Chains A and B, each alone.
Chain A
Amino acid sequence: MMNTKSLYQEVILDHNRKPRNYGVLDHPSHHAVGHNPLCGDRLDIALNLENGQINNIAFQGESCAICKASASMMTAAVKGKTRSDAETLIQEFREMAMGERDLNHPHHLGHLTVFSGIRDLPTRVKCAILPWHTLHAALNALSSVSTEADNDPVQNAASHPEALNRQANS
């Protein structure tokens, strides 16, 4: 069994207190909301895709430290990447978190392997995966923003001007 405390210490010290790319985007081309009803975790992911490349991405939400750190590291990892590179990472991360990937074989996960031990915490796997599922949903959304008014990041930003000030910071 992995040492959960050291996972927390490694991941939390950094990303939970100083999440990267935390905030909202002004006019995202892609957006999705992820929800984990069991924990009550909720995550908004917004990104700008130009010429097949993610040139900006931001996330926001209420979640546990594992989910928040995973989202933070994910946004940092996919920023500047092509859509297909991002999809590859999504696939590799999901497989790693579920213990279905042998990390001795070539992969693109880099620092994200810090989450490899999450497979030993089956009840928390979905916390780590939620951001990746949400990114996948955003990239595959047909419309550029969610059709649900409640989830409309543009509208949310307009009605919460302070949110605009928490723009992506990296």
Chain B
Amino acid sequence: MVSANATLAKVTPRINTILDTDKIRADFPILDIKVGNKPLVYLDNAASSQMPQQVIDRLVRYQTAQHANINRAVHYLSEVATLEYEHARRRVQQFVNAQEDREIIFTSGTTDSINLVMHGYGRKFIEAGDEIILTTLEHHSNIVPWQMLAKEKGAVIRVVPINDAGELDIDAYEKLFNERTKFVSLIHVSNALGTINPVKQMIAYAHQQNVPVLIDGAQATPHMTVDVQDLDCDFYVFSAHKLCGPTGIGMLYGKAALLEAMQPYKGGGDMIASVTFEETTYADIPHKFEAGTPPIAAAIGFGAAIDYLCSVGMDQIAAYELDLLNYATEQINEIKGASIIGTAAHKTAVISFTLDGIHPHDIGTLLNEDGVAIRTGHHCAQPVMQRFNVPATSRASFAFYNNKTEVDALITGIRMVQKVFL
């Protein structure tokens, strides 16, 4: 924790405290609600984060004064909406430091983005006998689409194993490559365990073998600075709702040359240059991949959420959450019968844990009695659960608006659960 403070002091010498959480919490109206008669302690941020008033206000402003369909009419509102939508695209571009805004495709979320790449790239370029590398840590959304492709094409899925701490075995990863390896798709940060994977190193290795790499950044972008040019990934995907934005919107970053070579995923309006019954010419990227009327308000809210996060500062968020993680980890380690699953050296503020003799769903239900919201279950990552030989875990996942008082509420809650089961 001392080191977290030290890092932060370097980054933001102006402020003494890590983050002014009281001020930040005041931005999130939902944090004031009560569950029963207990104040809400929201520790399910890895599933979905909450929305600050600034983003809510932006959505209201769009709907009250700026809404029309985009890329169509010549009237005032359509022009405003189109400009605001494209402005949001540029905010996303800047957020991940993509070279060009046309490399950012709006999708309905991380799952949609991965499916887009599976259909647009995978179905065009992957053939029978080809191999796709995934990891044990993948969310189901980065497993199932590739299994569908493998089944259709007769391709083969290879899986990078993890160690007991929940870290990828990088030697094993490198050994999986051969002349049939055609694609790597891997999670940046594990949603189930919080492990931060060494994706830059893994991308560099794949590129030595001329294999493109997709990074699932759903759990990374809310918690750290991501630079797609520095990573040199070929594709990067994430959702807005995990970083204080609306649901139903996410993005796909792809290197322009790859996106241009890919086939469209969905056909329809907005993605064409010209249509006759004999032939259709597709629009240029990014529009080639944005068929139909997109969720315009959600895209604009996505941009506003990025504005909000950047006003807090991604490096400050990372340092603050590390401090919170360390505090919570120490507290949970002191509880007899509690075991943390996922003890990687580099983690985001996610703690998956089990309590001896108590099923996670019972833990979740009883914690809810105290207003504490955590996730219980397999976290859409059943291979991770199988690796640790548990059917499910309880997961507390933190955001920058959580504080140590809430960690204490979690700890008190866990001890109460144990008392019920005593």
* Interfacial chain A residues near B420, Cβ < 8 Å: 5, 8-9, 12
* Interfacial chain B residues near A40, Cβ < 8 Å: 377-378, 385, 391-392
9-56 of chain B: CB within 8 A of chain A: 36
A38 at the interface (CB under 8 A from B): yes
Please tell me if the beta carbons of A4 and B365 are within 8 angstroms of each other in the complex. yes
B277 at the interface (CB under 8 A from A): no
CA distance A5 to B189 in the complex (A): 35
CA distance A93 to B385 in the complex (A): 32
Please tell me if the beta carbons of A5 and B369 are within 8 angstroms of each other in the complex. yes
- Neighbour of B369 across the interface among A4, A12, A39, A65, CB < 8 A: A4
382-421 of chain B: CB within 8 A of chain A: 385, 391-392, 420-421
* Interfacial chain A residues near B421, Cβ < 8 Å: 8, 12, 16, 65
Please tell me if the beta carbons of B362 and A64 are within 8 angstroms of each other in the complex. yes
Quote the shortest CB–CB distance from A143 to chain B (angstroms): 28
Please tell me if the beta carbons of A127 and B361 are within 8 angstroms of each other in the complex. yes
1-41 of chain A: CB within 8 A of chain B: 1, 4-5, 8-9, 12, 16, 38-40
Of chain B, the residue at the smallest CB distance from A63 is B359
Quote the shortest CB–CB distance from B367 to chain A (angstroms): 10
CA distance A38 to B364 in the complex (A): 14
* Interfacial chain A residues near B359, Cβ < 8 Å: 63-65
Please tell me if the beta carbons of A124 and B365 are within 8 angstroms of each other in the complex. yes
CA distance A121 to B376 in the complex (A): 15
A50 at the interface (CB under 8 A from B): no
359-376 of chain B: CB within 8 A of chain A: 359-362, 365-366, 368-369
CA distance A39 to B385 in the complex (A): 12
* A65 touching B358 in the complex, CB below 8 Å, given contacts A4-B366, A4-B369, A8-B420: yes
* Interfacial chain B residues near A1, Cβ < 8 Å: 36
CA distance A9 to B392 in the complex (A): 23
Please tell me if the beta carbons of B361 and A8 are within 8 angstroms of each other in the complex. no
* Interfacial chain B residues near A64, Cβ < 8 Å: 359-362
A139 at the interface (CB under 8 A from B): no
CA distance A146 to B91 in the complex (A): 57
CA distance A63 to B358 in the complex (A): 10
* A39 touching B366 in the complex, CB below 8 Å, given contacts A65-B358, A65-B359: no
Quote the shortest CB–CB distance from A67 to chain B (angstroms): 8
CA distance A66 to B368 in the complex (A): 15
A85 at the interface (CB under 8 A from B): no
* Interfacial chain A residues near B378, Cβ < 8 Å: 40
CA distance A40 to B392 in the complex (A): 7
* Interfacial chain B residues near A39, Cβ < 8 Å: 361, 377, 391-392
A62 at the interface (CB under 8 A from B): yes
Q: Which 3 A-B pairs have the closest CB atoms?
A: A64-B359, A40-B391, A64-B361
Binding site for A on B (CB under 8 A): 36, 358-362, 365-366, 368-369, 377-378, 385, 391-392, 420-421
Q: List 14 A-B contacts (CB under 8 A).
A: A1-B36, A4-B366, A4-B368, A8-B421, A12-B421, A40-B385, A62-B391, A63-B359, A64-B359, A64-B360, A64-B362, A66-B361, A124-B361, A124-B365
Binding site for B on A (CB under 8 A): 1, 4-5, 8-9, 12, 16, 38-40, 62-66, 121, 123-124, 127
